[in-house]
Every structure is written in structure tokens, then in C-alpha cells.
């Protein structure tokens, strides 16, 4: 009887050991599989992860803090750095429709009226040897005369060497507009990489960055993707692809958190991925970033101005509104 009882106990103990081993192995395998999925997930799967069916308002805005000075204009939003007399970042959405060149460039550089006592001015740049480099390019704001005028605020300027501003930086701006035309809509964040040890110009001690960054997000299915650029503020000769990096790399350099409104897992995958071949690098058009057919189909905006007259801007939007009034209706 005792021998039979002992035999049963041994079987029970053996079964318990097997069960515990199986449970432990299952948990370990699941954790390993999860890590493998995160580290080796394909770019195509980004689109299928928690992608919302609606537009995320303010998606382009990085993580902000209470102590930051956030300024909003018609075409862009910025975080202003009082110590360096320029923006930490400038963010905006650029749509295919907004790449139509409709308004004239003003070249009227003025202090930002919302923070007039804090920004740089003409005297700071005069004879400094540096260009007044746009962060949000004027050409990206040509869909509205107000947006164009506001792009010349000194809060949107940063000291750039002439060969950089008129060279590779300009090429990147043009390529970005090509991409907006190709992919229909982009979320763009641009800024200088600021630190306490920079040289400065002018009586207002406007810091001269050594590097600039640009981040671009295409959040349109099926090919959701993101890319970053870090570019030295000097004469550059390599192809633009050479300066491209992951968004994670820009975050490490700037200590900023981009696209905090994205679902966490999707944000992690987009920002970790550096896929050069996912983007078109050949310039699609020379004079216009829209297909000629789109230009022919453009019509006068049907909205009314504050004076009660019809808006003179052109639009290819199905609802008949130009970029200015389309953005205003979103607010």
C-alpha cells in the first residue's frame, strides 16, 4: 500500500515539474518572439499597426512643455528659444494642393509681432556673413499671402552659411515639396541643433548652429514612412541621401520627442526605421510641383475674405477651398 502511494506521488511530482517547465519555456519563447518582431519587423507592417481612421490634429507638433514659448501662425507653429533667439523647431503640414505657387515672395524680413522684443532683427544679420535661413521655407507657404508674409518673421530664421542655405538646404526644401506632391501630404519639422557653446552674431547674440535637422512623415496608407536629416551648416557636396538618418537619431541629437500623438508601437517603428529606398530621390518636375493636369483643374477659391470679396487663391480641393481657408475650417 505504501509503495503504491509513493509511486502515485512521484507521478504527480513529475507532472508538476513538466507543467512548470512548459510554462516557463512558453513565457521565455513569447518574450523572445516579441523582441524579434520589434527588431526585425518589415517596413510594410508599419501601416497596419494601430493606424487610426481619422486625421490626427496637430500630429506634426513635437512633445511640448509648460515652460516652452509656443507660437502659432497661419502656416506653421514654432517653439521659440529665448536664449538662442530662434526657434527650437518649426512644424507644419504640407499638402499637395499647397505646393501650387500662387503668392509672391515678399522678402520683407521683420521681427515676429507676437514676440517682437525677443527675436533677431535686420541689424543682427547685417554684415555677419550669414544668410537669414528659413526653417519653414517661403515656397511652402505660397498657398496664402498671409502665410507667405509670416514666413519672413525672424522667429522663423536661423543663421546659415550662404553655400549651405543656397545649396543642399535649398535642394532638400525642393525635394520635400516634390514629396508632398507625390505622397499628397507630409508632416514636417525643421530646426537648428542648439547647445550652450555656439558662436553668435549681432547685438542680440543670435546663436549660429553647427547643424540643422529636418524630419518628414508621410502618414498616408499604404506606405506610411518617416525620415530624418542632419546636415552641417557648411558647404555640402554629397547627395541628400548621405545626410538622411532615422528619426530616432534626430531625437538623440536634439533631445526632442517627435510625433507623440502616434500610437506608441507605430511611433517606435516609424522612428526606428531608416529606409532610403522608400522615398523617391529624383526631382519629379522642374517648374511646378503639381502635374499640369492638376493646374488646369484648379479653380478660384469659393470662400469670402474678411472684406466680403471672393478669395483670389487657386484650389484643386474638391470642396473648392484654398489652403488658407481649408486650414481655417479645421480650427
Which residues are part of the catalytic machinery?
134
The gap between the terminal CA atoms of the chain, to the nearest Å, is 84
Residue 37 burial (10 A CB sphere; 0-12, 13-18, 19+): exposed
Q: Counting Cβ atoms within 10 Å, is residue 74 exposed (0-12), middle (13-18) or buried (19+)?
A: buried
Cβ pair 99, 289 in contact under 8 A: yes
Cα 54 to chain centroid distance, Å, stands at: 19
β pairing state of 131-134 and 200-201: unpaired
What is the 3 state secondary structure string of 237-306? CCCHHHHEECHHHHHHHHCCCCCCCCCHHHHHHHHHCCCHHHCCCCCCCCCCCCCHHHHHHCEECCCECC
What span, in angstroms and rounded, lies between the C-alpha atoms of 62 and 255? Answer: 11
What is the C-alpha to C-alpha distance for residues 101 and 169, in angstroms, rounded to an integer?
A: 20
Could you tell me the CA-to-CA distances from 212 to 5, 33, 229, 281 in Å, in that order?
78, 38, 8, 20
C-alpha 243/C-alpha 312 separation (Å) is 39
Amino acid at each position: 500500500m505504501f509503495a503504491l502511494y509513493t509511486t502515485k506521488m512521484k507521478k504527480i511530482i513529475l507532472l508538476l515539474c513538466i507543467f512548470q517547465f512548459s510554462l516557463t519555456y512558453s513565457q521565455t519563447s513569447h518574450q523572445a518572439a516579441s523582441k524579434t518582431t520589434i527588431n526585425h519587423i518589415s517596413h510594410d507592417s508599419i501601416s497596419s499597426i494601430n493606424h487610426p481612421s481619422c486625421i490626427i490634429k496637430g500630429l506634426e507638433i513635437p512633445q511640448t512643455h509648460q515652460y516652452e514659448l509656443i507660437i502659432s501662425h497661419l502656416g506653421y507653429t514654432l517653439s521659440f528659444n529665448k536664449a538662442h533667439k530662434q526657434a527650437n523647431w518649426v512644424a507644419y503640414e504640407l499638402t499637395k494642393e499647397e505646393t501650387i505657387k500662387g503668392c509672391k515672395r515678399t522678402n520683407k524680413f521683420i521681427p515676429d509681432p507676437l514676440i517682437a522684443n525677443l527675436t533677431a532683427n535686420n541689424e543682427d544679420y547685417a554684415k555677419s556673413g550669414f544668410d537669414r535661413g528659413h526653417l519653414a521655407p517661403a515656397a511652402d507657404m505660397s498657398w496664402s499671402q498671409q502665410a507667405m508674409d509670416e514666413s519672413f518673421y525672424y522667429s522663423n530664421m536661423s543663421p546659415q552659411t550662404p553655400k549651405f542655405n543656397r545649396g543642399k538646404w535649398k535642394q532638400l526644401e525642393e525635394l520635400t515639396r516634390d514629396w508632398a506632391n507625390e505622397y499628397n501630404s507630409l508632416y514636417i519639422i525643421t530646426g537648428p541643433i542648439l547647445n550652450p557653446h555656439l558662436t553668435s552674431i549681432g547685438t542680440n547674440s543670435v546663436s549660429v548652429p553647427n547643424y540643422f535637422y529636418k524630419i518628414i512623415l508621410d502618414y498616408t496608407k499604404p506606405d506610411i514612412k518617416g525620415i530624418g536629416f542632419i546636415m552641417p551648416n557648411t558647404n555640402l557636396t554629397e547627395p541628400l541621401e548621405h545626410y538622411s538618418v532615422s528619426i530616432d537619431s534626430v531625437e538623440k541629437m536634439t533631445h526632442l520627442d517627435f510625433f507623440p500623438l502616434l500610437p506608441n508601437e507605430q511611433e517606435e517603428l516609424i522612428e526606428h526605421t531608416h529606409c532610403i529606398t522608400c522615398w523617391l530621390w529624383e526631382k519629379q518636375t522642374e517648374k511646378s510641383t503639381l502635374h499640369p493636369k492638376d493646374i488646369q483643374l484648379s479653380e478660384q477659391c469659393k470662400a469670402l475674405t474678411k472684406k466680403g470679396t471672393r478669395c483670389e487663391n487657386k484650389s484643386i480641393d474638391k470642396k473648392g477651398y484654398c489652403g488658407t481657408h481649408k486650414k481655417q475650417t479645421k480650427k
